[in-house]
Amino acid sequence: MRNIDSKLILVGIIYFLLAMIQGQFMAITADYRYFPMHAHMGLVGGVLMILYGLIYRAYPETQQDALVKFHFWLANIGSPIFFAGIGISITGGTRNVGHAGSIIVIVALMIFALLFFRTHRSSHYR
């Protein structure tokens, strides 16, 4: 996948922006109910995506792995489902959406770990 590092950094910046804008709303309205959605959008959406991007950048050989696309899409599909699901559960709705999204986020992380360690081991430590 071309430029996966900068794509992930861009996605992270967008989530940071969304989290910060939502943070402003919480502060202005003094309605803090949605802070878990805000916290995870900033940390899992912003910090984790930018971290993924930086790691792909720091270890460019990882970008050649066949699992890259799979990791990118799982992270990008799971995250919005996770954040929306937290919002839905706070409003009193089902908790299944957030749960489903968070499982996709976990699978994405596991794929990333597999991809990272297999490419890193084969290129750096031999």
The site for ligand HEM (CB under 6 A) is made up of 16, 19-20, 23-24, 26-27, 32, 35-36, 38-40, 42-44, 46-48, 102, 105-106
Shortest reach from residue 29's CB to ligand HEM, in Å = 9
CB-nearer residue toward ligand HEM: 38 or 71: 38
CB-nearer residue toward ligand HEM: 20 or 122: 20
Shortest reach from residue 5's CB to ligand HEM, in Å = 19
Shortest reach from residue 126's CB to ligand HEM, in Å = 32
CB-nearer residue toward ligand HEM: 72 or 78: 78
User: Own/partner pairs for 52-60, CB < 8 Å, 24+ apart?
Assistant: 52/8, 52/12, 52/112, 53/4, 53/5, 53/6, 53/7, 53/8, 53/9, 53/12, 54/5, 54/9, 55/116, 56/4, 56/5, 56/8, 57/5, 59/116, 59/119, 59/120
CB-nearer residue toward ligand HEM: 99 or 121: 99
* Spatial contact of 105 and 82, defined as CB atoms under 8 Å apart: yes
Identify which of 25, 15, 3, 24 has the alpha carbon closest to the alpha carbon of residue 83: 15
Shortest reach from residue 34's CB to ligand HEM, in Å = 9
